[in-house]
Structure 1
Amino acid sequence: MIKGFKEFILRGNVIDLAVAVVIGAAFTAIVNSLVTGIFNPAIGALFNSESLTTALVLTIPTTSGEPAKLMFGAVIAAAMQFLIVAAVVYFALVLPINHLKKAAFLKQKQEEEATPADLPPTETELLTEIRDLLAGRPSPEGNHSQQTAR
């Protein structure tokens, strides 16, 4: 029962689902606060702005009178947030699970090599065994020649 559960847990679909849930739920608040509280102000300071989302803004005049704003800083902040989430998930979940899978595979391979397989003998092995058995018995021709010599 535990072996089946272990196989279920180590299956790729379950790991992918767990990674998606973790990205969506557990790390969102942490990464959001990290990006908005530390990285955005630090990079915004390079551009003399209070945060990255307000830095690198390109204003385009429009005919309606309200200028259009292209916020490249917000896109860079979102890309940074994605990269941080991906790095945390990779190093906290994917890398350890891959290590466990590899260790389990190597252990299984060593067990298979240590115990001989319960396969039926091949035709060559059977013929060799028959030959060896027959070599140990006196040949019928040898018996016949011995009987005629008497």
Structure 2
Amino acid sequence: MFQGFKEFITKGNVIDLAVAVVIGGAFTAIVNAVVSSIINPLVGLFFEADAAGNFGPKLTGLYGEVTFPLGDLISAIISFLAVALVVYFVFVVPMNKYKERQAAKNPAVEEETLPTEQELLIEIRDALRKGAASS
């Protein structure tokens, strides 16, 4: 029972997922701070903020001016890309190199390949010809 659990836990996909979730959660606070203190002011240079602090293009509608908060969208995209970049280069790349080294140390036994359908038909034809010729 414990052996099966150990095999499940030590599979690469489970470990990769766990690492990505933990590090992504921890790193999100740092990325959000960088985006709110650097990126948002840069976007704010191009768009004026409304009363709620949202900035983006403003359009006048039936009931007054409406702000499309593109700053929030840009912030979310940059945050996602930064977290994904760090998780990839800090965890995925080293894990892939480790797996390659392990595979080089322990070459996998090649499985016997089964004949294709065409090869089987040729063998059957040849056996039938051989049987007909010997009779």
| Structure 1 length-normalised TM | 0.55
Identity of aligned residues (%): 29
Distance 1:8 1:101 in 2: 16
Q: Following TM superposition, where does structure 1 have runs of at least 4 consecutive aligned residues deviating by more than 6 angstroms?
A: none
Distance 1:32 1:91 in 2: 19
Change (3 A) 1:48 1:60: closer
Mark the runs of 5 or more structure 1 residues left unpaired by the alignment. Answer: 113-150
Distance 1:26 1:9 in 2: 23
Kindly name which structure, 1 or 2, has the bigger radius of gyration based on alpha carbons. Answer: 1
Provide the aligned length of Structure 1 versus Structure 2: 103
Corresponding residue number in structure 1 for 2:61: 61
Change (3 A) 1:60 1:94: farther
Equivalent residues of 2:47, 2:56 under 8 A apart = no
| Structure 2 length-normalised TM | 0.61
Corresponding residue number in structure 1 for 2:131: none
Residue 84 of structure 2 is aligned to residue 86 of structure 1: yes
Deviations 1:59-118 (A, max 9, x none): 3413xx3543211222112111111111111111111111111111111129x7xxxxxx
Query: Over aligned residues, Cα RMSD in angstroms?
Result: 3.0
Equivalent residues of 1:10, 1:101 under 8 A apart = no
Q: Larger RCO: Structure 1 or Structure 2 (Cα < 8 Å, ≥ 6 residues apart)?
A: 2
Mark the runs of 5 or more structure 2 residues left unpaired by the alignment. Answer: 110-135
